[in-house]
Structure 1
Amino acid sequence: MIVIQDREVRSLGLKPKDFIDSVRHCFVHKPECQLPPKISLHPKGDDFINTMPCLLPPETNRYGVKIVSRVKGRTPALKSDSMLYDVTTGELLAVIDCDYITTMRTGAVAALAVDTLKKNNVKKIALMGLGNTGRATMMCLSSLLPPPDGKYEVSLLKYKDQAEQFIEHFKNLDNFHFTIANDTKELFENADVIISCITQANGLFIDDVNVFKPGVLVVPVHTRGFQNCDTIFDKVVCDDIGHVKGFKYFNQFKNLTELGDILRGDKPGRQSEEERIIDYNIGLGLHDAYICSKVYDAVKAQPHENIELVHSTQKYII
């Protein structure tokens, strides 16, 4: 067994495109995997501990499980670790710091959903929640979206000095220019795409659903704050139906479709420029396990310290 630290994951030099290609591959090959819904436990308040298992496609002979937690007051609040196993022997291959992988694959999934479900001639992208996930989403969007006529406007929700820091961080992007909105109404107005990377919300972000114009795509990365869209939007897209069955308005979703079905061409995606779509990607352990498997192969090819777990080989241990 090896332990793969964050610095080793980053040293591989993975690009946004690498994460996008990986999550796209996983969506397309999801039917070949065993992927039960994540188990979510809530110790107190908005804190959570999620367990995300996945059996990868048979040819990989690998199984992965990720544990991700959010603890208020911790820095960072979100942390995750993954374990990767060899299915043929049951051997634990690696324990992997999954913070960077989780953040980048989350941004990659959001960007892939935008590219797949957006209408033509997008002008304004609204983005709220400008922490690590928001930055990862912007990185992946910038590598995925084709150059427009002119530039995309990315409107950022003002919060402390995060918007200004975000603009400074991405000031060299050629295809985007940034504006700052003072409230959600200003942010959402005339937006063609709305992306929320806010990790917690008490209630709805906005009550007036008329602010969501025809053709809008809403991507709530952490699923909060847009439940008033659930029953009125023309289509609901998700990464896995089993993961959204517990949603309050699940039985009222219109045209519920998995993103993988669209990417495989099994079901239609956007069917008109007027269609309003909301996309719920809850987060699949499949993405984490697949990327961790690739990371393991890359790191294992280099000299690395092995840690031996010595289990009993006796049939009876009592």
Structure 2
Amino acid sequence: MTSSTKIDFIYLSESDMVKAGVTDMPACVDTMEEMFKLLYRGDYRMAGENNNSHGSLILFPEDSPHATMPKPTPDRRFMAMPAYLGGSFGTSGVKWYGSNIANREIGLPRSILMFILTDTETGAPLALMSANLLSAYRTGAIPGVGARYLARKDSRVAGILGPGVMGKTSLSAFITACPEIDTVKVKGRGRKSIDLFISWAKETYPQLTEVYAVDSEEELVRDSDVVAYCSSGATGDPTTYPIVKREWISPGTFFAMPALGNFDDGVAGPEVRKVLDNTGLYEAWMSEIAPPVHNVNPLVGLKFMDMVAEGKLNKSDLEDLGKIVAGDAPGRSNDEEIIMLSVGGMPVEDVAWGTVVYRNAIKRGIGVTLNLWDKPILG
């Protein structure tokens, strides 16, 4: 606590965030690993009745009597994602974003994000941050944490579905965890985005000997050691989501699934270990969304949960990544195991990485200092 009533905070633009290290994937993976240990110990809070909610969402109705109300075009929403994280962080924050897939038609990202980091004791702002890169890197880092514990250490071939931002950060995290990766397969919808991904991968990781496009999910999965499904698309009908079939999978493959995904009955069977990034997060979604939840939220972890609700899986069939990271459950036990990790995205990740980037910025004198007040008018 301070006796002064003056409150200053810093504003970090996207270029400031880069200078402060937001794109440092190895550091981000380490930070997310620390976050998972705190998550497992319960030293955190998110929104919702079980303190595990993804956030609070504004959606628009199909029919509205108000001419000025936005129409529910694909991926159009506003969302606030608040969290507190303890341990060495001890900070709180909220990510706010608006999303509309039509943004791409005018050269903007699908989602535009900002993050406010606050002092947990007073609630005073510490930083207002551009958060598209913050969110992209913390999301991509989770497959890296998963690969650190659940992929084969000698993994060489990576398959990436979706050549966008999430595909790039997931590959970066895979290479952080599995530095012997030398071959990358990528599948996308457009030639331009695929070519950009291939150029980026070759330039960023010169140790790669092959980076090439494939035409199907089957080609992507077959003979791959680590796979990430990172494509975007419409929800509502799981038969349209990208699928994983058991017959395509080689022994020892690790899957990270941070976006739309589905799987066949073979993957649903006991041969494939099923891991959630935070069990409580999926329980929150199950209480917030009318079943079948996978129709609304396309993460494979929610298909796992739907199957538990339908009696097709036992809850004990689902594992928790935090428990594995904390050492209270086994990671990969042999080179033959097939493991699928569902990545849901949590605001505690934004708080963790945002805190590290903020502290870097303070140390390096990065950002613009803004004044909230010298003394509050209302006292």
Structure 1 residue 165, shift from structure 2 partner:
2.1
Matched to 1:249, the amino acid is F
Partner of 1:98: 131
Separation in structure 2 between the aligned mates of residue 308 and residue 66 of structure 1, nearest angstrom? 19
Moved over 6 A (4+): none
Residues 200-279 of structure 1: pairs in structure 2 closer than 5 A: 200=233, 203-206=240-243, 208-222=245-259, 224-228=260-264, 231-232=268-269, 234-245=272-283, 246=286, 247-250=302-305, 251=308, 252=313, 255-279=317-341
Amino acid at match of 1:66: K
Give how far 1:258 is off.
Answer: 1.9
Per-residue CA deviations over 1:258-289 (Å, capped at 9, x if unaligned) read 21211121111223333322101211211211
Counterpart residue number, 2:113? 80
CA gap of 1:49–1:312, structure 2 versus 1, over 3 A, is same
Root mean square deviation, CA, Å: 2.5
116-125 or 91-100: bigger deviation: 116-125
Q: How does 1:18-37 map to 2 (within 5 A)?
A: 18-30=27-39, 31=41, 32-35=43-46, 36-37=52-53
Q: Does structure 1 residue 62 correspond to structure 2 residue 62?
A: no
For structure 1, the residue ranges without an aligned partner over 5 or more in a row are: none
- Normalised to the residue count of structure 2, the TM-score between the two structures is 0.74
- Deviation by residue 1:78-106 (Cα, 9 ceiling, x = unmatched): 22211111122121222211111111111
Q: State percent identity of aligned pairs.
A: 20
Structure 1 residues 179 and 58: CA distance shift in structure 2, 3 A: closer
Give, in whole Å, the separation in 2 of the partners of 1:103 and 1:174. 23
> 2: CA distance between counterparts of 1:82 and 1:24?
21
- How many residues are matched? 310
> Which residue does the alignment assign to 1:283?
345
Greater Cα shift, 100-109 or 171-180? 171-180
CA distance in 1, matches of 2:349, 2:232: 20
Partner of 2:212: helix, strand, or coil? Answer: strand
**2:129 counterpart letter in structure 1:** I
- Report what 2:11 is aligned to: 3
The answer for the alignment partner of 1:46 in structure 2 is 75
**Which amino acid counterpart does residue 93 of structure 2 have in structure 1?**
G
Asked if 2 retains the 8 angstrom alpha-carbon contact of 1:231 and 1:254, the reply is: no
Please, what TM-score do these two structures have when normalized by structure 1?
0.86
Deviation at 1:5, TM superposition (A): 1.4
What is the SS of the residue equivalent to 1:307? strand
Whether the aligned pair in 1 keeps the contact of 2:154 and 2:178 (CA below 8 Å) is no
Does structure 1 retain, via aligned residues, the 8 Å contact 2:32–2:138?
yes
Q: 1:40 Cα deviation (Å)?
A: 4.8
